[in-house]
Amino acid sequence: MERFDIAIIGGGGAGMTAAIYAARGRRSTVVFERMVTGGQIATTDMVENFPGFPAGINGFDLAQLFEQQARKFGAEVRAEQVESIERRGGSFALTTEEGQYLAGAVIMAAGADYNHLGVPGEEAYVGRGVSYCATCDGAFFRDQDVVVVGGGDAAVEEALFLARIVRSVTIVHRRDTLRASAIVQERAFAEPKISFAWNTVVEAIEGGDSVQRAVLRDVQSGEKRTMDTAAVFIFIGQTPNSSLLEGLVEFDGGGHAIVDLEMRTATPGLFVVGDLRSQSARQLISAAGDGATAAIAAERYLGELPRGRLQSEAARMAG
Ligand SMILES: Cc1cc2nc3c(=O)[nH]c(=O)nc-3n(C[C@H](O)[C@H](O)[C@H](O)COP(=O)(O)OP(=O)(O)OC[C@H]3O[C@@H](n4cnc5c(N)ncnc54)[C@H](O)[C@@H]3O)c2cc1C
């Protein structure tokens, strides 16, 4: 069974930064990534708010640089999906489709998936007008008309943020009242740039090279209409990739792992970082910051363990 000091699950911005720090600290380090290095950021065309790239950088290219930097310091990056994490005698046994690994500490950086509408045009226009992050993409639509889908706090807060940048925001909501907290609602109703399409759903997103219109349907009358828009921002919830953590950590109401300021969880040696953790800013830079914090905390954790424990655990499991 292969053994590493630090195993990192997820090769997004959080996981790759943790790998850079852990490997540079001379800890044997592995990153398991089930899909493409970079996670969410690899799917976006232009990242304009990550320091060091004043002209912006393509998300996929940035992710490749993260991986290059982690490998340079000796981190291994394996294209494997982790299927379980088990606490065994003070170490962690990880199972992937390829086999089993032993780690002294685990940094869980599996991120979260934005819920999708599942309508025609949505996937095709991601990064070309369909967005799940106003902070990330709002600036691309300065002085244009945009649509926001959703009625909770995230949707309305993001609409308020967008209203500072764009010409108009139409909030499309399938009910006739918002779910957002009262104060957020009050601000939205007082904002002249925001209007509402109540009892309405988006049925399709259309355009040419980028989004040009949304096809809307009134859920009561069934009537359809087309609205010109440069972008459709979708905020209908997020699903954290937290299933591996069941029984090992505590969760907030949204299914995100609760951590302390060092990214520690209720299980010693298990850290959770990035979009998967509670109260994350859900930005690349904050995910990277979490990764660095967790790697430093993991290094400290391993340094405090009785010498040779990981080796003796590996020998015990091998025997
Ligand atoms: C379209 C889009 C544009 C964005 N633009 C910006 C922007 O411009 N600026 C900005 O700051 N933020 C942006 N964001 C947000 C930013 O991408 C996220 O906050 C950030 O990627 C979170 O990083 P993470 O490492 O926590 O998680 P993720 O990026 O979600 O990475 C998690 C990784 O873990 C892997 N994984 C999950 N489960 C397993 C498993 N069991 N085994 C192995 N691997 C696993 C996933 O495949 C994924 O690669 C954008 C997000 C999206 C969707």
> Domain residue spans in the chain?
2-113+238-318, 116-234
Residue 274 CA: nearest ligand 1 atom is: 26
What does the alpha-carbon distance between residue 214 and residue 228 come to, in Å, rounded to a whole number?
7
**Which helix (DSSP H) or strand (DSSP E) does residue 76 occupy?**
strand 76-78
Considering the segment(s) 116-234 as one domain, its CATH architecture is: 3-Layer(bba) Sandwich (3.50)
Burial (Cβ within 10 Å: 0-12, 13-18, ≥19) of residue 224? exposed
143-201 pLDDT per residue, tens: 999 999 999 988 998 999 999 999 999 999 999 999 888 999 999 999 999 999 999 99
**Residues with a CB atom less than 6 Å from ligand 1:** 9-15, 32-35, 39-41, 43-44, 47, 49, 81-82, 109-111, 114, 126-127, 132-133, 136, 241, 244, 274-276, 282-285, 287
Extract the tokens encoding 41.
């950021």
Q: Are 6 and 104 in contact (CB under 8 A)?
A: yes
> What single-letter amino acid sits at 266?
A
pTM for this prediction: 0.84
User: What is the length of the chain?
Assistant: 319
Contacts of 52 (CB under 8 A, 6+ apart): none
93-133 pLDDT per residue, tens: 999 999 999 999 999 999 998 899 999 999 999 999 999 98
| CA torsion angle 182 183 187 190 (round to 10) | 60
**CA of residue 110 to ligand 1 center, whole Å:** 8
**CA of residue 41 to ligand 1 center, whole Å:** 6
Q: Are 133 and 47 in contact (CB under 8 A)?
A: no
Considering the segment(s) 2-113+238-318 as one domain, its CATH architecture is: 3-Layer(bba) Sandwich (3.50)
Residues labelled as active-site residues: 133, 136-137
Phi first, then psi, for residue 164 (nearest 5°) are -75, -15
Q: For all residues of the chain together, what is the average pLDDT?
A: 94
Give percent of the chain with pLDDT exceeding 90.
85
Same fold, 2-113+238-318 and 116-234: yes
